[in-house]
């Protein structure tokens, strides 16, 4: 009875299955559902080309995506990425017009540049008690040099002067056009092939009025051009007061890396100082 009942039940169930459908199981060697579960499902919304994009993936795709920084971190034109800590990307918003990128507290930030016209003090040199002072290793990172010499006088004697040379050159490569006023009397001269540039006359008097001073600009001092400088000097020599305006050339193609200040007699008195500034 059991077999008969099973056959009756099977007949009822098979009534909904066509012979063609039954034919599809021909050649099946194991449970159909098990085999189906072991196959890769194909999503009708995913093309073969799209599946091909996974070629070469070596780890979980979502994990890799989560480790990336979203483009939406940058919200405004000009924003930049920076690391606020190790492995921690952050956004630095665009600064204001004319601000420069700097570092504050160990991270980048925008700031208004310091005033000063791009002029940087490179060295301060004392002239005291020396007959020659050489300033070497002048930075080559600027366009022009601005030099100020103050408080210069000679320890003894009269009629001395302060002289300037570049790179230790003592040959006749210096040319100077001088306009001078001494006690309200004007004179001018031109010298060609000198072995130095005469900056200013010196006196032995230590009073403020008698100390000499000079300032000059050396344009394009790192190039292979002939070097030109324009100086203005004020000095005193035993009661005479004079003002010098000089236009000078150093006929040499080398960059200026050093300059020497020499007194023609005696030694420099105390308090004379040379300030060299670099100008961008």
- Closest by CA position to 256, among listed 224, 215, 216, 214: 224
- pLDDT beyond 80 at 91: yes
CA of residue 102 relative to chain centroid, distance? 10
Residue 71 backbone dihedrals phi, psi, to 5 degrees: -60, -25
- pLDDT beyond 90 at 119: no
- pLDDT beyond 90 at 45: no
Considering 3-7, 62-66, 231-235, the range whose residues carry the highest mean pLDDT is 62-66
The pLDDT score that the predictor gives to residue 115 is: 60
CA of residue 261 relative to chain centroid, distance? 32
Q: Distance between terminal CA atoms of the chain?
A: 111
pTM: 0.58
Query: In this structure, what token pair is assigned to residue 143?
Result: 């366009």
64 or 18: whose pLDDT is higher? 64
How high is the mean pLDDT of the chain? Answer: 85
Q: pLDDT tens for residues 124-182? A: 999 998 999 999 999 999 999 999 999 888 888 777 889 999 999 999 999 999 998 87
8 or 57: whose pLDDT is higher? 57
- Closest by CA position to 135, among listed 122, 120, 119: 122
- pLDDT beyond 60 at 6: no
Q: pLDDT tens for residues 190-242? A: 999 999 999 887 777 666 656 888 999 999 999 999 899 888 888 766 566 77
Domains of the chain: 71-111 (no CATH), 119-279 (2.60.120)
Residues 222/255, Cβ–Cβ less than 8 Å: yes
Residues 156/270, Cβ–Cβ less than 8 Å: no
């Amino acid at each position: 009875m059991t077999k008969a009942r099973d056959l009756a039940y099977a007949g009822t169930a098979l009534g909904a299955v066509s012979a063609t459908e039954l034919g599809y199981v021909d050649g099946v060697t194991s449970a159909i559902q098990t085999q189906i579960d072991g196959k890769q499902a194909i999503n009708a919304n995913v093309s073969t080309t799209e599946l091909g994009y996974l070629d070469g993936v070596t780890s979980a795709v979502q994990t890799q995506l989560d480790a990336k920084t979203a483009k939406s971190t940058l919200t405004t034109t000009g924003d930049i990425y920076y690391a606020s800590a190790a492995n921690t990307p952050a956004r630095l918003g665009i600064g204001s017009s004319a601000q420069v990128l700097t570092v504050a507290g160990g991270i980048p930030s925008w700031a208004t540049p310091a005033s000063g016209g791009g002029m940087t003090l490179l060295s301060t040199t004392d002239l005291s008690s020396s007959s020659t002072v050489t300033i070497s290793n002048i930075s080559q990172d600027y366009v022009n040099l601005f030099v100020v010499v103050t408080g210069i006088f000679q320890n003894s004697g009269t009629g001395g002067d302060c002289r300037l040379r570049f790179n230790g050159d003592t040959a006749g490569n210096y040319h100077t056009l001088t306009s001078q006023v001494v006690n309200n009397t004007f004179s001018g001269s031109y010298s060609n092939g000198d072995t130095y540039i005469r900056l200013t006359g010196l006196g032995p008097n230590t009073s403020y009025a008698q100390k000499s001073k000079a300032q000059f600009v050396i344009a394009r001092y790192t190039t292979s051009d002939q070097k030109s400088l324009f100086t203005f000097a004020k000095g005193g020599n035993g009661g005479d007061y004079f003002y010098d305006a000089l236009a000078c050339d150093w006929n040499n193609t080398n960059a200026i890396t050093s300059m020497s200040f020499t007194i023609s007699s005696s030694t420099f008195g105390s308090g004379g100082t040379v300030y060299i500034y670099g100008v961008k």
